[in-house]
């Protein structure tokens, strides 16, 4: 679903495009998934290659299987190849390659995201668990209007959102959006709008959309932080919508884009407006949606005297 008309009023000038281009990563997102990092110990490189499954090319973890001729593969692919060795086509039994499993225990390897800044080195069997939560792992594209598979670091995704998804970019920590829809009775499970804000040297995604909450059509606005959850907790934001002398206010902490758009939406972590209320705010004959959503982002700072957090509001 698309809006018939969107008016965005920002409190400051647009984003400096030169700043975005300056931060492009060295490696495009398409290469991040296939980034293979060599062992931290150079003599083990050939052993690391032996631990690569010939079918899925991923590192093998116990149980590592082998055929009667000594060819190995991972337990997942053993089922996929219908119990036939992919190398010699001999039937696979239930033979474990215990020697290779023991060799793997002696290896120490760099995190596969070392080229993105992770300095950690792990025993072979701890590496996979770390990589699943590594703070340097690439982020998924936060655009929710399509099944976008692009991954990358934050500067790369900012440029991707601007250039490929044509997302509106704004500088400043306050926003004032007006959403207009000529036929608000058409409520589908679809994203309406995504806007990216640059403030405090960070990027934030403002979502506004329509969907069904149970059987009830609702509108929802929420903010996501383009970074990890730990850093997201340093910020707060408020949203306000109203009309006819009434208003609704939401205040909360932005969720990290590590959490998917659907996860945030389905947790109801944002400003939710029922359609009837939204039409009441719109005024008129309730045949057209006219909502103005205003908001502010601020950074929480520690008070050096009392230790309590005090808001740092940007101008």
- Classify the phi-psi angles of 86: left when phi > 0, otherwise alpha if psi is within -120 to 50, otherwise beta: alpha
Mean pLDDT for all residues in the chain = 80
CATH number, domain with residue 199 = 2.60.210.10
- Domain presence at residue 24: no
Answer yes or no: do 211 and 119 share one domain.
no
As a whole number, mean pLDDT of residues 31-41 equals 37
CATH number, domain with residue 105 = 3.30.40.10
Answer yes or no: do 114 and 225 share one domain.
no
- Domain presence at residue 282: yes
Candidate from 148-162, 200-214, 284-298 with smallest mean pLDDT: 284-298
As a whole number, mean pLDDT of residues 138-147 equals 85
Number of structural domains in the chain: 2
Task: For Cα atoms 21, 25, 28, give the angle at the middle one, nearest 5 degrees.
Answer: 110
- Is the pLDDT confidence value at 47 over 60? yes
As a whole number, mean pLDDT of residues 117-140 equals 89
As a whole number, mean pLDDT of residues 257-280 equals 91
Kindly report, residue by residue over 215-249, the tens digit of the pLDDT: 888 999 999 999 999 999 999 999 999 988 889 99
Answer yes or no: do 181 and 267 share one domain.
yes
> Highest mean pLDDT: which of 87-96, 101-110, 141-150, 162-171?
162-171
- Domain presence at residue 12: no
The two three-digit tokens of residue 23, written as one number? 């931060």
CA distance 11 to 164: 25
What integer pLDDT is reported at residue 303 of this predicted model? 54
Which of 91, 108, 132 is the last residue before a domain boundary?
Answer: 132
List, in sequence order, every residue forming a beta bridge with 218; answer none if it has no partner: 211, 274
- Is the pLDDT confidence value at 92 over 50? yes
pTM for this entry: 0.69
Q: pLDDT class for 106, splitting at 50, 70, 90?
A: confident
What integer pLDDT is reported at residue 302 of this predicted model? 58
CA distance 119 to 180: 49
- Domain presence at residue 253: yes
Answer yes or no: do 152 and 117 share one domain.
no
Answer yes or no: do 175 and 270 share one domain.
yes
Answer yes or no: do 156 and 293 share one domain.
yes
- Domain presence at residue 15: no
Candidate from 22-36, 170-184, 252-266 with smallest mean pLDDT: 22-36
- Domain presence at residue 305: no
Cβ atoms 51, 114 nearer than 8 A: no
- Is the pLDDT confidence value at 146 over 60? yes
Write out the residue range of the structural domain in which residue 117 sits: 47-132
């Amino acid at each position: 679903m698309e809006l018939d008309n969107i008016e965005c009023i920002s409190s400051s000038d647009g984003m400096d495009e030169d700043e975005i281009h300056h931060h492009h990563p060295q490696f495009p997102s398409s290469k991040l998934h296939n980034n293979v990092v060599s062992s931290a110990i150079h003599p083990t490189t050939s052993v690391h290659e032996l631990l690569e499954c010939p079918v899925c090319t991923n590192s093998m973890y116990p149980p590592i299987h082998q055929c009667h001729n000594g060819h190995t593969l991972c337990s997942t692919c053993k089922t996929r190849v219908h119990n036939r060795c992919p190398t010699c086509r001999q039937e696979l039994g239930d033979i474990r390659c215990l020697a290779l499993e023991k060799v793997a225990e002696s290896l120490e390897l760099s995190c596969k995201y070392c080229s993105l800044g992770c300095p950690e080195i792990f025993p072979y069997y701890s590496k996979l668990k770390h990589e699943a939560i590594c703070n340097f792992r690439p982020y998924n594209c936060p655009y929710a209007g399509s099944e976008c598979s692009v991954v990358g670091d934050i500067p790369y995704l900012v440029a991707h959102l601007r250039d490929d998804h044509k997302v509106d970019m704004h500088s400043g920590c306050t926003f004032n959006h007006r959403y207009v829809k000529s036929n608000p009775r058409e409520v589908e499970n679809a994203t309406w709008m995504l806007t990216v804000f640059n403030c405090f040297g960070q990027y934030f995604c403002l979502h506004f959309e329509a969907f069904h909450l149970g059987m009830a059509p609702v509108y929802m606005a929420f903010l996501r932080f383009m970074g990890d959850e730990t850093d997201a907790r340093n910020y707060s934001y408020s949203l306000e919508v109203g009309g006819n002398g009434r208003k609704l206010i939401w205040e909360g902490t932005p969720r990290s884009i590590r959490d998917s758009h659907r996860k945030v939406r389905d947790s109801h972590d944002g400003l939710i407006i029922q359609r009837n209320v939204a039409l009441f705010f719109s005024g008129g004959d309730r045949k057209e949606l006219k909502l103005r959503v205003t908001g502010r982002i601020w950074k929480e700072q520690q008070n050096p005297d009392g230790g309590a957090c005090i808001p740092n509001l940007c101008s």
